[in-house]
Amino acid sequence: MAHDVSLQSTGTATLDAPRTGTWDGGNEPFKASYGKLMMWFFLLSDAFTFAAFLTTYGLIRHKHAVFTGEAKDFVFNTAYWPIPDHVFNAFPGLHGVNLPLAFVALMTMILIFSSVTMVLAVEAGHRMDKADVQKWLLWTILFGATFISSQAWEWSHFIHGTEAGTTMADGTVFHGANLAANQYGPVLFADLFFFITGFHGTHVFSGVCLLIWCFIATTNGTFHKRGHYEMIEKIGLYWHFVDLVWVFVFTFFYLV
Amino acid sequence: MAINNPNLPNFSPAVESQGGIGTAPVSHVAHGHGEHDEHEHHDQHWMWKYVFSQDHKQIAKQFLITGMLWAIIGGLLSSLFRLQLGWPEGTMEWLKPVLGHWVEAGKLNPEFYLALVTMHGTIMVFFVLTAGLSGTFSNFLIPLQVGARDMASGFMNMLSYWFFFLSSVVMFASLFLETGPAAAGWTIYPPLSALPQAIPGSGMGMTMWLVSMALFIVSQLLGGVNYVTTVINLRTRGMSMSKLPLTIWAFFLTAILGILSFPVLFSAALLLIFDRSFGTSFFLSDIYIAGQALPNQGGSPVLFQHLFWFLGHPEVYIVIMPAMGMVSEVLATNARKPIFGYRAMIGSLIGISLLSFVVWAHHMFVTGMNPFLGSVFMFLTLIIAVPSGVKVFNWLATLWRGNIRFTAAMLFAIGFVSLFISGGLTGIILGNATLDIQMHNTYFVVAHFHLVMGSSAFFGLFAGVYHWFPKMFGRMMDEKLGYIHFWLTFAGVYLVFMPMHYVGIAGFPRRYYAWTGFDAFSQFADMNKFISVAAILAFFAQFIFIINFFYSIFRGRRATENPWNSTTLEWTTPIEPGHGNWPGEIPAVYRWPYDYSKPGSEADFIPQTVPYSQTQSSNLPYEKDMGE
């Protein structure tokens, strides 16, 4: 029984060999390289950044009055928080048509699709299939860029506002929104919209830049020579995280 | 101090007469083979070796020296405002050559006084006790004590230092602004910090404070993810989580706290930047300046306090936990006893880490928060006394009947325990919302946190420097100067902060430029003079340390490989380890790090690298059975 080899390999120590269990050192307990672990911890910290912003949103919104009447009677007023259906109801090319949340739903779909193509790029990387990696990266970049462009349109519409505008407390008629005033409701509604969707958009933009860099490196064969496509996996983690955050941002600003 | 010190690199002090029993341990590798010498001898340009180094030991020294420079600046600022507080009627004309227009007609400018306390707090909390303490020792000790060649990513580690350096440059430059540095307190509460027109310090000084802090947070994140990943992935064979020295547990949890709390300060700072520069109203509402209403509506300054203290409270544990870890290590080594309650020590560190995230609002009992919420936070706050108590009693039990060697490091470690108890007891008072309503913003609070996290973290830092100096520079620091430094500092700290409690109970508010306008406080004028004298003397006593430090780097007695007869891995490296730490294979680990004075063993310490087969006479029953 003594010095049984099978015992050693299952993690039991002997008097003169160190233990060899999962957490006994000399290996990677999560079966993840240090680079991947670092990405996870970065995302954890980034999640706290976003959580702080969304908490800020929640608390400030809670501090403001709500519109108490019927939804169909809703009109913009700086005295209460607006109903999102009435703010985000435009669609590019369909002027004057009331389509509540249709455009943002499309944007969200595009971003979710980009996550699917990202998964396919990572999977192609596991197979060391350079051409497939390139193809799916390109789709992901395309979807990501489309999302940012859509957001630019959404912002532009939000900034320019409706033709009618809203009569403000001082009697002037105001169209659209900036950081100090907006036609839709309290100042902070637009402040938070610009700040949080902007911060998220910056993340998407950084993601697209990283993906373009990945595409160039893949084309040059950098990862193929290295023998693995782990870098795509790491950027993929980031990309999925940014998508996930959008789901929360979308819920906070558009749905509730 | 080097008793019984072996010169053989892989000496096993507990080799028994029958030591050669059985097979030779697989990983009992003799050092100095030279097959891994590429880690040591590549001829690098001095620029890459000393300035843009990726070696964790070099980066640690960069953090330490930068931290020391900041500590001198932070201390000087406190001497300045203590002069003002001790002698409010005195003349400051003699400081005019240094302070320039901040001295007007022999008086310190009150705005500048606010800037002094703000910068003192910012510098000490962030630049000295976060970057200087955790940056130095997490960097230095994690790879050495877990048995790794370097940090997981040496490049990111280097970036971490240089972001800290940039952040330091911006903060330092802000001291020389025409309008002065930030002056809204180190907690930078809006609206004072949010409105550039509020006070001179809210202008450019505040902007630079925020820029500097953003860079600092980047540095912290780069360092933090590195420390955590290194501990998870790079432990040597046999180094399970329950064989880690307590230092590593402390650094590990500190890094996790930093990763989770600094981003929230980043959020708060970013929102504040928007309020200041782009006209948003996140923290602003219903404000009048000189009778004029500001347009900002709907924001909440209390929201900022919540966000700030969500970082701010874990931050005090980020400051104190590395000190706790190092003190545990120094106490066990110099008491020649295993640390008492090793697992309880880990458990209490984890407990403190978890609790640190749910107590932040005890800083806000008087900000108009719902009193019910206050009572919840009070309850959670007082629970922290439990893990803190566990730690204190375990340190005392470690000392109990120990074979104590009073090295300079040991004195500072014992001093740490003393200060932590003295400061911790007043924490119980301040944690009670009802009492805190009386005490908040008085010198009682100032005395409390200067003892419990300010001075004691400094003591942990000193203990660490005296203890690991031989590993850092290959030479010993002077013990006699160390004793003098300790006693002057220890006495100084108590002479400064004990009277401050009385002043605080009497109701003296913090951050007041002078109390000469209040008759009720005039009877404390002498006590304030006393505090000021003690504070300035204690500050200048630190130059004994600085002289000792720099003198010893070049002229100190040469260190042996394991001067303190310690069990942990860093003492199995050569006296001055090169990049890569071990010239041969990295040693494997067989036992926990606290086998001091083990019954049955001839030597009073057994390094972690000694297998149980070599220590038959001291093996415990379950250790004897392991091979069966």
Considering only B21-35, B559-573, B596-610, which range has the smallest mean pLDDT? Answer: B21-35
CA-nearest residue to B264 within chain A is A49
Interface contact flag, B239 A191, Cβ < 8 Å: no
| Mutation to test the A interface, candidates B159, B240, B262, B300, most A Cβ within 10 Å | B240
CA-nearest residue to A179 within chain B is B280
pLDDT band, very low/low/confident/very high, at B290 (cuts 50, 70, 90):
confident
Query: For residues B319 and B222, is the Cβ–Cβ distance under 8 A?
Result: no
Ordered DSSP codes for B33-82:
--TTGGGT-----HIIIIIS---HHHHHHHHHHHHHHHHHHHHHHHHHHH
Nearest partner of B61 among B582, B586, B576, B565, judged by Cα: B576
Interface contact flag, B225 A15, Cβ < 8 Å: no
- HEC readout, B447-505: HHHHHHHHHHHHHHHHHHHHHHHHHHHCECCCHHHHHHHHHHHHHHHHHHHHHHHHHHH
Give the residue-averaged pLDDT of B322-344. Answer: 97
The pLDDT score that the predictor gives to residue A7 is 37
Of B146, B279, B299, Cβ closest to residue A60: B299
Model confidence at A154: pLDDT above 60:
yes
Looking at the fold, whether A62 and A161 belong to one and the same domain comes out as yes
Of A41, A52, A53, Cβ closest to residue B228: A41
CA-nearest residue to B227 within chain A is A38
Contacts of A238 (CB under 8 A, 6+ apart): A39, A43, A207, A210
What CA–CA distance (Å, rounded) separates B293 from B281? 14
Interface contact flag, A195 B274, Cβ < 8 Å: yes
Looking at the fold, whether A25 and A86 belong to one and the same domain comes out as no
Interface contact flag, B267 A12, Cβ < 8 Å: no
* Residue B288 backbone dihedrals phi, psi, to 5 degrees: -115, 130
Model confidence at B29: pLDDT above 70:
no
Chain B residues with beta carbon closer than 8 angstroms to that of A2 = 627-628
Of B264, B279, B614, Cβ closest to residue A179: B279
The answer to whether the Cα torsion of B228, B234, B239, B240 is positive or negative is: positive
Give the residue-averaged pLDDT of B331-350. Answer: 97
Is B495 exposed, middle or buried (CB count within 10 Å of its CB: 0-12, 13-18, 19+)? middle
If you average pLDDT over every residue of chain A, what do you get? 91
pLDDT tens track for B143-173: 999 999 999 999 999 999 999 999 999 999 9
Specify which residues B104 forms β-bridges with: B107
Model confidence at B23: pLDDT above 50:
no
pLDDT band, very low/low/confident/very high, at B15 (cuts 50, 70, 90):
very low
Contacts of A30 (CB under 8 A, 6+ apart): A37, B232
pLDDT band, very low/low/confident/very high, at A162 (cuts 50, 70, 90):
confident
Above pLDDT 90, what percent of chain B?
A: 80
What CA–CA distance (Å, rounded) separates B402 from B334? 8
Structural domain tally of chain A?
2
Cα distances (angstroms) measured from residue A47 to each of A42, A202, A235, A242, B229: 9, 15, 16, 10, 18
Report pTM. Answer: 0.92
The answer to whether the Cα torsion of B112, B113, B114, B116 is positive or negative is: positive
B517 vs chain A: nearest CA distance in angstroms?
40
Q: Is A31 left (phi over 0), alpha (psi -120 to 50) or beta?
A: left
Interface contact flag, A49 B153, Cβ < 8 Å: no
Instruction: Please check whether residue A59 touches B, CB under 8 A.
Output: yes
Specify which residues B289 forms β-bridges with: B292
Model confidence at A57: pLDDT above 90:
yes
Instruction: Please check whether residue A5 touches B, CB under 8 A.
Output: no
Chain A residues with beta carbon closer than 8 angstroms to that of B611 = 15-18
Chain B residues with beta carbon closer than 8 angstroms to that of A15 = 22, 611-613, 619, 623, 626-627
What CA–CA distance (Å, rounded) separates A174 from A184? 9
Of B228, B307, B613, Cβ closest to residue A52: B307
Of A15, A23, A192, Cβ closest to residue B626: A15
Model confidence at B287: pLDDT above 50:
yes
Q: Which DSSP state fits B293?
A: E
Q: Which CATH number belongs to the domain containing residue A246 in this structure?
A: 1.20.120.80
- Chain A stretch 93-152, residues whose beta carbon is closer than 8 A to a beta carbon of chain B: none
Instruction: Please check whether residue A24 touches B, CB under 8 A.
Output: yes
The helix or strand, by DSSP H or E, that contains position B319, with its residue range, turns out to be helix B301-335
Tokens at residue B75, please? 């201390």
Number of Cβ within a 10 Å radius of residue B526? 11
Ordered DSSP codes for B232-270:
HH-PPTT--GGGS-HHHHHHHHHHHHHHHHHHHHHHHHH
What CA–CA distance (Å, rounded) separates A41 from A21? 24
Looking at the fold, whether A98 and A147 belong to one and the same domain comes out as yes
ipTM of the complex: 0.92
Q: Is B23 left (phi over 0), alpha (psi -120 to 50) or beta?
A: beta
CA-nearest residue to A185 within chain B is B298
Q: Is B341 left (phi over 0), alpha (psi -120 to 50) or beta?
A: left
Chain A residues with beta carbon closer than 8 angstroms to that of B27 = 17-18
What letter represents residue B543's amino acid? Answer: F
What CA–CA distance (Å, rounded) separates B374 from B363? 10
Q: Is B507 left (phi over 0), alpha (psi -120 to 50) or beta?
A: left
Specify which residues B292 forms β-bridges with: B289
Q: List % helix, strand, coil for chain B (3-state, nearest 5).
A: 65, 0, 35
- Core vs surface per residue B30-56: b (16+ CB within 10 A) or e: ebeeeebeebbeeeeeeeeeeeebbbb
Model confidence at B41: pLDDT above 80:
no
Interface contact flag, B278 A35, Cβ < 8 Å: no
Give the residue-averaged pLDDT of B128-137. Answer: 96
End-to-end CA gap in chain B: 40
Model confidence at B5: pLDDT above 60:
no
Number of Cβ within a 10 Å radius of residue A164? 11
Of A14, A41, A63, Cβ closest to residue B229: A41
Interface contact flag, B280 A35, Cβ < 8 Å: no
pLDDT tens track for B52-68: 999 999 999 999 999 99
The pLDDT score that the predictor gives to residue B500 is 95
Of A23, A35, A187, Cβ closest to residue B298: A187
Give the residue-averaged pLDDT of B76-91. Answer: 93
The answer to whether the Cα torsion of B544, B545, B550, B554 is positive or negative is: positive
Interface contact flag, B278 A186, Cβ < 8 Å: no
What CA–CA distance (Å, rounded) separates A130 from B218? 34
If you average pLDDT over every residue of chain B, what do you get? 90
Looking at the fold, whether A126 and A157 belong to one and the same domain comes out as yes
Give the residue-averaged pLDDT of B368-374. Answer: 88
Give the residue-averaged pLDDT of B474-487. Answer: 97
CA-nearest residue to B308 within chain A is A52
Instruction: Please check whether residue A17 touches B, CB under 8 A.
Output: yes
Cis peptide before B470 (omega within 30 of 0): no
The pLDDT score that the predictor gives to residue B45 is 81
Looking at the fold, whether A109 and A4 belong to one and the same domain comes out as no
Instruction: Please check whether residue A66 touches B, CB under 8 A.
Output: no
The pLDDT score that the predictor gives to residue B579 is 87
pLDDT tens track for B227-237: 999 999 999 99
Instruction: Please check whether residue A37 touches B, CB under 8 A.
Output: yes
The pLDDT score that the predictor gives to residue A1 is 35
Chain A residues with beta carbon closer than 8 angstroms to that of B259 = 41, 44-45
Query: For residues B293 and B347, is the Cβ–Cβ distance under 8 A?
Result: no
Of A24, A48, A52, Cβ closest to residue B238: A24
Model confidence at B90: pLDDT above 60:
yes
The pLDDT score that the predictor gives to residue B43 is 66
Contacts of B456 (CB under 8 A, 6+ apart): B320, B323, B416, B419, B420, B423
Looking at the fold, whether A46 and A20 belong to one and the same domain comes out as no
Of B282, B589, B619, Cβ closest to residue A56: B282
Interface contact flag, A26 B25, Cβ < 8 Å: no
SS3 B199: coil
pLDDT band, very low/low/confident/very high, at B11 (cuts 50, 70, 90):
very low
Interface contact flag, B26 A16, Cβ < 8 Å: yes
What CA–CA distance (Å, rounded) separates B457 from B361? 23
A186 vs chain B: nearest CA distance in angstroms?
8
CA-nearest residue to B622 within chain A is A15
The pLDDT score that the predictor gives to residue B621 is 85
Block residue for tokens 């930068």: B66
Tokens at residue B34, please? 């030279």
Q: Which DSSP state fits B201?
A: G
Interface contact flag, A25 B230, Cβ < 8 Å: no
pLDDT tens track for B168-221: 999 999 999 999 999 999 999 999 999 998 888 999 999 999 999 999 999 999
Looking at the fold, whether A21 and A110 belong to one and the same domain comes out as no
Chain A residues with beta carbon closer than 8 angstroms to that of B26 = 16-17
Model confidence at A10: pLDDT above 80:
no
Looking at the fold, whether A3 and A70 belong to one and the same domain comes out as no
Give the residue, A12 or B463, on which the prediction is more confident: B463
The pLDDT score that the predictor gives to residue A47 is 97
Number of Cβ within a 10 Å radius of residue A97? 10
Tokens at residue B592, please? 């926990």
What CA–CA distance (Å, rounded) separates B505 from B446? 11
Ordered DSSP codes for chain A:
-TT-HHHHHTT--BTTB---STTSSSS-TTS--HHHHHHHHHHHHHHHHHHHHHHHHHHHHHHS-B--S-GGG----TTSBPPHHHHS--BTTBTT---TTHHHHHHHHHHHHHHHHHHHHHHHHHTT-HHHHHHHHHHHHHHHHHHHHHHHHHHHHHHH--SS-EE-TTS-EE-SB-SS-BSSSSHHHHHHHHHHHHHHHHHHHHHHHHHHHHHHHHHTTHHHHHT--HHHHHHHHHHHHHHHHHHHHHIIIII-
The pLDDT score that the predictor gives to residue A83 is 92
What letter represents residue B119's amino acid? Answer: M
The pLDDT score that the predictor gives to residue A13 is 55
CA-nearest residue to A52 within chain B is B264
Chain A residues with beta carbon closer than 8 angstroms to that of B310 = 52
Looking at the fold, whether A25 and A43 belong to one and the same domain comes out as no
Domain hosting residue A70, numbered range: 33-255
Model confidence at A3: pLDDT above 70:
no
What CA–CA distance (Å, rounded) separates B370 from B347? 32
Give the residue-averaged pLDDT of B267-277. Answer: 95
Looking at the fold, whether A15 and A38 belong to one and the same domain comes out as no
Considering only A154-168, B6-20, B305-319, which range has the smallest mean pLDDT? Answer: B6-20
pLDDT tens track for A14-40: 788 888 889 999 999 999 999 999 999
Model confidence at B514: pLDDT above 60:
yes
The pLDDT score that the predictor gives to residue B622 is 81
Interface contact flag, B267 A26, Cβ < 8 Å: no
SS3 B348: helix
Block residue for tokens 């709907």: B298
Q: Where are the domains of chain B?
A: 408-553, 560-628
SS3 B359: coil
B20 vs chain A: nearest CA distance in angstroms?
11
Of B153, B238, B280, Cβ closest to residue A34: B153
The pLDDT score that the predictor gives to residue B212 is 97
Tokens at residue A42, please? 């970065």
Instruction: Please check whether residue A34 touches B, CB under 8 A.
Output: yes
| Mutation to test the B interface, candidates A7, A34, A245, most B Cβ within 10 Å | A34
Interface contact flag, A53 B267, Cβ < 8 Å: yes
